[in-house]
Copies of this chain bind each other. A is one copy, B any other.
Amino acid sequence: MSKPKILILGAGYGGLMTAKGLQKGLSYNEAEVTLVNQNPYHYVTTKLHEPAAGTLHHDYTRVPISSVLDERKVRFVQDRVTAVDREKKVVTLENSNEGLAYDYLVMAMGSAPETFGIQGLLENAYFIRNINSVRMIREHIEYQFSQYHLKGERQDLVTIVVGGAGFTGIEFVGELVDRIPQLCRDYDIPQNKVRLVNVEAAPTALPGFDKDLVEYATNYLESRGVEFKIGIPIESCSPEGVVLKGGEEVKAATVVWTGGVRGNKVVEESGVETMRGRVKVDEFLRAPGHEDIFVIGDSSLIINEEIDRPYPPTAQMATQQGEWLGRNLPLLMRGGDVKPYEFDMKGTLASLGRNEAIGMVGTKKMFGSTPAFLKRANDLRWFYKLGGISMVLRKGKL
C-alpha cells in the first residue's frame, strides 16, 4: 500500500504552520507531504503595508521557504495552482503538465481583493497583496512624486487616495504619514502640497473596533494631515483618480484599495460550497461534505457565535488553524479522537506608523507607543515561530 499523500496549497500563515506541524508530528513514512506555492518565499502579509509605503524594505517581510521547512520531510513545488479536481483528487498547475494527486488536501491560498463591483477599481487601483504588488506601489508613488516639478507641479501627482479605512487601510495610511516627509525632502516638495485622502463607505473608520480606539486613530492621523471621508463610498475609479458618491472628484495619480477581501478564486471554482469565495468549514476545518478537503486561513469562514457574524480573516486565525491542523491531521488520519478547532482571540493591534498604534489585548484598550512596541514584538514572534532565534535576528526589526 502506498503512503497517503497530503497536499498543502499555499505557504502563507496557515499552510506553513500546517507543513511545520506535519513535519514534526508525522511518523517516518506515515505520509507524503507536498507544499505548493507560487513563490519560493513566504511573505508576512500583516507587514506588507510597510514596504508598500516604502518605510521598510520588502526583504524584511519575506522568508525563503527552504529556510523554514525540512526538505527531507516536506517536498516543495514552486508553481501556481490553476484548479482542483475533487472527483479525480488531483490539483492542476500552471507550469506542469502533470497534476498533483492527493488523499488529503489543505487549501490555504489566502484571499483576493473584493472590489464590490466599483467601476474601474480593478483596472486602476493598486492592491496590498503580495511582495510584487507592494514594491510596485512603493515605486509607483515615488515615480509620481519624482515627476511633480517637471509636470507643472500637478496636484494629482502628489495626491494619494486610500480606499477603505479598515485595518489594512488605516495601517497603510499610518505608514504613509511617516513616509511622506521623507519623500517631500527627497523631491523638494513642500509637505503641505501632498494630499492623503482616506475614503471609507462604512459609517465609521475601523468598523468593529472600539469607539475610543477609532477616535484616537483618526485624531492622530488627522493631526498628521490625513483627510478622512467616512461614510462615503467610491463610485468609480479611473487613471485620473476617484469619483465619490455625491459627485466629488478626487484627482489622484495613486489609488490604493484596501476595502475588502474575498476568498481565493481557485477555492471558489473548486466546486465546494462558498460564500463570497470563503468556505464555511466544519469543526475540523473541513469543507462541508468533504472528509478529505481542509480549508484554512482567509478562504475559510467561521462564525463568531457571540455575535452571530463571521470572524474577520486574520493572520492570527490562519496561524492558529495551521497549527491546529498540523497537530491534528495525523490524529484524524489515524482515526483517533480529535478535539474540534476553536479560535482563541488573543487581541488586535493596528499600527499607525512606527511609533503609534491602537489595540485591544484581552479587554484592555491600548493607545500610543506601547501597543506599537507590542505590535513589533508580535512580528518577531512570527519570525521565531518560523525559524527560531536565527530567523528573528535575520528578519526582525524591533
The contact of A139 among B132, B133, B146, B188, by CB within 8 Å, is: B146
Flag whether A136 is at the interface (Cβ < 8 A).
Answer: yes
Contact, CB under 8 Å: A135 / B146: yes
CA distance in complex: A145, B135 (Å): 10
Contact, CB under 8 Å: A139 / B136: no
State the A residues within 8 Å of B (CB): 131-133, 135-136, 138-140, 142-143, 145-147, 149-150, 186-188
CB-CB under 8 A from A187, the residues of chain B are 135
CB distance from A148 to the nearest CB of B (A): 8
CA distance in complex: A180, B145 (Å): 23
CB distance from A180 to the nearest CB of B (A): 16
CB-CB under 8 A from A135, the residues of chain B are 146, 186-187
Contact, CB under 8 Å: A136 / B132: no
CB distance from A146 to the nearest CB of B (A): 4
Contact, CB under 8 Å: B143 / A139: yes
CB-CB under 8 A from A140, the residues of chain B are 143, 146
Which of A131, A133, A139, A186 has most chain B Cβ within 10 Å? A139
Residue of B with least CB distance to A41: B188
4 shortest interchain CB distances as A-B pairs = A139-B146, A143-B143, A139-B143, A136-B146
CA distance in complex: A374, B139 (Å): 35
CB-CB under 8 A from A149, the residues of chain B are 132
CA distance in complex: A149, B188 (Å): 31
CB distance from A316 to the nearest CB of B (A): 28
CB-CB under 8 A from A139, the residues of chain B are 139, 142-143, 145-146
CA distance in complex: A145, B136 (Å): 9
CB-CB under 8 A from A147, the residues of chain B are 136
CA distance in complex: A143, B140 (Å): 6
CA distance in complex: A138, B143 (Å): 9
CB distance from A381 to the nearest CB of B (A): 27
Contact, CB under 8 Å: B133 / A138: no
CB distance from A201 to the nearest CB of B (A): 27
Cβ contacts A to B, 21 pairs, < 8 Å: A131-B188, A132-B146, A132-B149, A132-B150, A135-B146, A135-B186, A135-B187, A136-B143, A136-B146, A136-B147, A136-B150, A138-B146, A139-B139, A139-B142, A139-B145, A139-B146, A140-B143, A140-B146, A142-B142, A142-B143, A143-B143
CA distance in complex: A186, B135 (Å): 9
CB distance from A193 to the nearest CB of B (A): 15
Residue of B with least CB distance to A138: B146
CA distance in complex: A68, B145 (Å): 28
CB-CB under 8 A from A131, the residues of chain B are 188
For the A-B complex with A132-B149, A142-B143 known, give 16 more contacts whose Cβ atoms are closer than 8 Å: A131-B188, A132-B146, A132-B150, A133-B150, A135-B146, A135-B186, A135-B187, A136-B143, A136-B146, A136-B150, A139-B142, A139-B143, A139-B145, A139-B146, A140-B146, A143-B143
